[in-house]
Structure 1
Amino acid sequence: MGRLVVVSNRVSIPQGEDKAGGLAVALNALMEHQGGLWFGWSGHTSDDAAAVKTPRIVSHGSVEYATMDLSPEELNSYYNDFSNATLWPLLHSLPEQMHFDRHSLHVYRAVNDRFADMLLGLLRPTDTIWIHDYHLLALAASLRLRNIRGPIGFFLHTPFPSPDMLGSIPEDSIFIRDLLAADLLGFQTSNDAENFVASAQRIAGAARLPGGGLQLGRRKIRVGVFPVEIEPAEFASMAEQACASPETERLRRSLDGQSLILGVDRMDPTKGLRHRLSGFRRLLESHPQWHRQTTFLQIAAESRQDVDAYQDLRADLEHAAGAINSNFGEPDWVPLRLLARAGSREAVSGYMREARVGLVTPLRDGMNLVAKEYVAAQNPENPGVLVLSRFAGAARQLGAAILVNPVDPDEIADALDTALKMSRPERQDRWHACWEAIRGSSALDWGRAFVAALERTDGERDVRRPGAEIRLVSQTATPKAS
């Protein structure tokens, strides 16, 4: 195979620190194993960013990391306004949180074009290009316009909305056509893939091919389902060691025998944090036997602080947390601990192993790796219980969790009560079913499955005769058994 070129909004350059969550965790295993080039934004801004034509390159092992800066205006319009205030809520089917203006759309497209221009000088004819996530919806089309003809894949880490929801944004058909410039489009769940296929048919006029592919004009495109995975054995080992760490021991002492309910999220409107706190409040109201018997620790690392919706969320959470502690707390018992900063990954894994309940209730989520990490962190002899939103992609695999409607505080409260009362044999049975769902998969296998499917599209392109009909089947990643 040719060199793998990964393109994402941010680049995860190893610096001897804990790996970040989400995309970086999923991709690091593949890049460290396979090598290649990883290109994206440096995380920094500079006034002359647009004038710089050559990315900075840092080598680490077999991977080259190439980065470019954004200008302050690009950061505000491309990243804050369009990517995170328009596309993010749209893709999560939360139109009431959307903000749209055409200037931000124009800058978003211009930044996608600049990504293409900066990447162009780094590419080789045999490269396989893998583009990631909603920040770069227009990049595949930009590369095609620059005469890049090699295999291009695109993977969306978020959900994909229904055609009706997608139609609420101007130029929806153009975005669909931009995505169809790729050879392989990957999604977290079959529902997301089907939403895209339906949107491509209704909005962009694409035709569905037998077997699940799409055709737009003369182009044929694969559509596949590739659930993102973690490294379960590695995370389990880390959690077992972290259980004896000073951080976990301090938390354990502070609980003084109480059961721990744990939430770990970015502070994001899609994570259902307002409703989650309401559910915990309802638990204390309707099940007073849990007063002084349980403590809820919610870690909600602050993010996207320049976006108004995120500022409003922090204010709301602090107000709700204060009200819960004021109304139900006692001099020697604080029912809710809210932290607006991230802990180290090792420390959090120890907290997960300690927690009797993992509370993961996003309003909608492409996958949610925290749910899988919580399962991996548990002690098989005395595991905790996962309470999970049925609208998280992970719910498709972790059906043995207690699944809840994340906007129903009463359902959350009843689920917490059930989890806290659950017998050890039932906890073990539920945990074992969840563990079996993730133990045979890994982030590396996920990445390999996508790249292998993408390389097959290149082989089809090579043997395709003018006018020949190629049957394209929808690709679903199959985890490797262990």
Structure 2
Amino acid sequence: MTDLKQSSPPRLVAVSNRTAYGSQTRAGGLAVALWDTLAESGGLWIGWSGKIFDVPRRRVQLVEEDGVSFALVDMSKAEYEGFYLGYANSVLWPVMHNRLDLAVFDSDYFAAYESINRRFAEAVEAQTSETDIVWVQDYHFFLLARHLKDGGCRRRTGFFLHIPFPAPEVFRSIPNHMTLAEGICAYDVVGLQSPHDCANLGRYLHEEMGAEKMDDERYRIGDHVLTMRLCPIGIDAEGFSLSATSEVAEKASNRLSRFLGKRNLVIGVDRMDYSKGLPQRFEGMATLFDKYPDLHGNISFTQIAPPSRSVVEEYAQLRQQLDELSGRINGDYGDLDWIPIRYLARGYDREELAGLYRLARVGLVTPLQDGMNLVAKEYIAAQDPDDPGVLVLSQFAGAAQQMTDALIINPHDRNAVAEAVREALQMPLDERQRRWRALYRGICEQDINWWRDHFLAAFDTSGPAD
């Protein structure tokens, strides 16, 4: 088994809970941003193998695919339950999305989280050199850089948080919040999705860590300088636009068109997660049907919501709630030849979704809290420039601060949801085109490659690793 350490040239090492190794397609998400850069630099991707064993295993499997090397770490069942289902998704996820009522503060969860972070830090140390840049992805690994430093391992480290960073008052509710913050402060560069996230973290660092703000991006904490970079993630806008007219996309669009007839399509596509505001969205559509009987039989709302983390109790409860809501709304408003809500609890291929987005007159993206929300950007990328649909977007999505030409609404207000959908359906063609052009220009200018380059450029101005 060959050691993947290199002394030169510098390369990018990505660390994330899941990798793109063995994927049928690398289209979309993190893989688009990282794969080409990793391949060009002879890079390495470190992540979970996806395998769960009855007992802990220290094995790191080294494999390669299409010019990218992978170091895959195994987990035991107890580690997976404590680290991933426990601390990551029953503590950090709800707190970071302002759902303290759903958080389960269990000291055993934190012990598992710290253990896995240490295990991944050991893999980073074993498989990298001092010339590498280590780019760690998301809330699963707040502590990784701290464990590297505690072990005397000098690496240039960056961290990108894909989810929101909450107000300091909320973050302090986590019993180990200071330990997590010390982990964040061990990184050289930290990237966040929105100005609001940057303001929240900056205030926390000042109030709790005594951080000194040196300029717009740099904070001094003790003898360490942290660069905090506003870095909203994007998509491959032009590539997704092409996907929307592919054979697969057109086939999916034609299948749904046969059901729609002359009705206008309103579409939502989300993981089944309580942060996405799906019950509130369903209630908003019920309000629309209640207030505007003229729309009965003339529109169809399709919600695609593949299950997520179904073994966590809150997600099972959400599934039951959506089943009951869609049944009630269809019973109250439907007719022999019209189903108001088509609710599909399954996933679809990326190109199929692109075709459905292109068909939809309204894209309904109404999370209660979201780091960015790339569905909003994909919906815009998929539109027909000559006859584009309208994006209805939650003010609490990170994308709202970039995509100001969408119809921005409060997702908690069912009347606001209803009125925005009504406005979108009635919007004149020239206004739809004007809004779409501005939105499409924005997602092309700050696409997935811009995001990657903008983050990595922060290392040019950051200080050396401590």
TM bucket (normalised to shorter chain) is over 0.9
Any residues of structure 2 matched to 1:30-429 within 5 Å, and which? 30-48=37-55, 50-52=56-58, 54-242=59-247, 245-429=250-434
Q: Could you tell me which amino acid in structure 1 is paired with residue 51 of structure 2?
A: H
Q: Could you tell me which amino acid in structure 1 is paired with residue 370 of structure 2?
A: D
Deviates more, 1:32-41 or 1:56-65: 32-41
Deviations 1:394-444 (A, max 9, x none): 111110000000111110000011111111111111111111211223212
Q: Does the CA-based 8 Å contact 1:18-1:344 persist in structure 2?
A: no
TM-superposed CA distance for 1:3, in Å, is 1.1
Q: Does the CA-based 8 Å contact 1:361-1:388 persist in structure 2?
A: yes
Q: Could you tell me which amino acid in structure 2 is paired with residue 363 of structure 1?
A: L
Q: 1:59 to 1:189 in 2, by over 3 A?
A: same
Q: Partner of 1:197: helix, strand, or coil? A: helix
TM-superposed CA distance for 1:385, in Å, is 0.3
Q: Does the CA-based 8 Å contact 1:30-1:448 persist in structure 2?
A: no
TM-superposed CA distance for 1:244, in Å, is 6.1
Q: Partner of 1:380: helix, strand, or coil? A: coil
Q: How many residues align?
A: 458
Deviates more, 1:376-385 or 1:322-331: 322-331
Q: Does the CA-based 8 Å contact 2:12-2:37 persist in structure 1?
A: no
Q: 1:326 to 1:170 in 2, by over 3 A?
A: same
Q: Does the CA-based 8 Å contact 2:130-2:156 persist in structure 1?
A: no
Q: State the alpha-carbon separation in 2 of the partners of residues 155 and 404 from structure 1.
A: 27
Q: Could you tell me which amino acid in structure 2 is paired with residue 461 of structure 1?
A: P
* Residue equivalent to 2:17: 9
Q: Partner of 2:14: helix, strand, or coil? A: strand
**Mind listing any 5+ residue stretches in structure 1 that lack a counterpart?**
465-482
> How high is the TM-score relative to the length of structure 2?
0.95
Residue 449 of structure 1: which of 454, 457, 461 is its match?
A: 454
Q: State the alpha-carbon separation in 2 of the partners of residues 232 and 266 from structure 1.
A: 21
Q: State the alpha-carbon separation in 1 of the partners of residues 461 and 264 from structure 2.
A: 50
Q: Could you tell me which amino acid in structure 2 is paired with residue 227 of structure 1?
A: P
> How high is the TM-score relative to the length of structure 1?
0.92
Q: State the alpha-carbon separation in 2 of the partners of residues 3 and 456 from structure 1.
A: 18
Q: Partner of 2:348: helix, strand, or coil? A: coil
Q: State the alpha-carbon separation in 1 of the partners of residues 68 and 456 from structure 2.
A: 16
Q: State the alpha-carbon separation in 2 of the partners of residues 28 and 262 from structure 1.
A: 30
TM-superposed CA distance for 1:116, in Å, is 1.1
Q: Identity percentage over the alignment? A: 39
Q: Does the CA-based 8 Å contact 1:242-1:350 persist in structure 2?
A: no
Q: Partner of 1:266: helix, strand, or coil? A: coil
* Residue equivalent to 1:477: none
**Mind listing any 5+ residue stretches in structure 2 that lack a counterpart?**
1-8
